[in-house]
């Protein structure tokens, strides 16, 4: 039996050696590296432990009180129609596909749904946490009057 297995072992060893030799002779230039999904280098991932994300649904006519945040806030409408306003400025309408709305730390504002339609609002907050809650937004301010 040992005599019969020797030719098989020799053939198998020859195949392995030929394959290994071919790979070594081809060199690393013939081996394709994994394609990056980025041009110019892969981005780094800075710490994001201070970022929070929320999905809030406001029914038609519902809105927050005036308030400010210790950190920044980004708002976007995922569904429906929303509104936001910085105190002393005009109302900004929010609909899906619109550019997100950025509010800097310490800026007094409110946000909520339009008078006639709910909104699912995506809220991203970063930096220091906490909010200073102020008075309710009255109907005239909410209607932009």
Tell whether 30 is covered by a domain: no
Rounded CA separation 111/71 (Å): 16
Ramachandran bin of 106, using left for φ above 0, alpha for ψ from -120 to 50, beta for the remaining angles: left
What are the CA-CA distances from residue 41 to residues 30, 36, 69 (Å)?
A: 22, 8, 35
Tell whether 27 is covered by a domain: no
Task: Report the pLDDT averaged over residues 105-123.
Answer: 98
Q: Cβ–Cβ contacts within 10 Å for residue 88, how many?
A: 6
Note the pTM of the prediction, 2 decimals: 0.71
Tell whether 63 is covered by a domain: yes
Rounded CA separation 124/141 (Å): 24
Task: Report the pLDDT averaged over residues 80-85.
Answer: 98
Nearest one of 50, 118, 111 to 78, comparing CA atoms: 118
Tell whether 58 is covered by a domain: yes
- Mean pLDDT, all residues of the chain: 86
Tell whether 24 is covered by a domain: no
Structural domain count of the chain:
1
CATH of the domain at 135: 2.60.120.10
Full residue range of the structural domain in which residue 63 is found: 52-142
Higher-scoring residue by pLDDT: 30, 104: 104
Percent of the chain predicted with pLDDT > 90: 66
User: Using 50, 70 and 90 to split pLDDT, how confident is the model at 19?
Assistant: low
Tell whether 19 is covered by a domain: no
Tell whether 112 is covered by a domain: yes
Provide the CB-side half-sphere exposure for 140 (13 A, CA).
1
Tell whether 9 is covered by a domain: no
Residue 15 has pLDDT above 70, yes or no: no
Q: What is the distance, to the nearest Å, from the Cα of residue 83 to the centroid of all Cα atoms in its chain? A: 22
Q: Cβ–Cβ contacts within 10 Å for residue 69, how many?
A: 21
Higher-scoring residue by pLDDT: 144, 63: 63
């Amino acid at each position: 039996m040992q005599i019969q297995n020797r030719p098989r072992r020799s053939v198998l060893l020859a195949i392995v050696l030929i394959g290994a030799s071919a790979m070594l002779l081809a060199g690393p230039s013939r081996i394709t590296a994994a394609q990056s999904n980025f041009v110019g280098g892969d981005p780094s991932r800075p710490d994001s432990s201070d970022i929070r994300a929320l999905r809030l649904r406001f029914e038609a006519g519902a809105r927050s009180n005036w308030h400010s945040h210790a950190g920044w806030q980004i708002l976007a409408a995922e569904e429906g129609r929303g509104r936001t306003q910085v105190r002393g400025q005009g109302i900004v309408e929010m609909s899906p596909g619109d550019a997100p709305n950025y509010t800097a730390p310490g800026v007094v504002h409110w946000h909520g749904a339009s008078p006639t339609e709910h909104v699912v609002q995506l809220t991203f907050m970063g930096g220091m946490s906490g909010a200073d809650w102020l008075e309710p937004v009255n109907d005239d301010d909410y209607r932009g009057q």
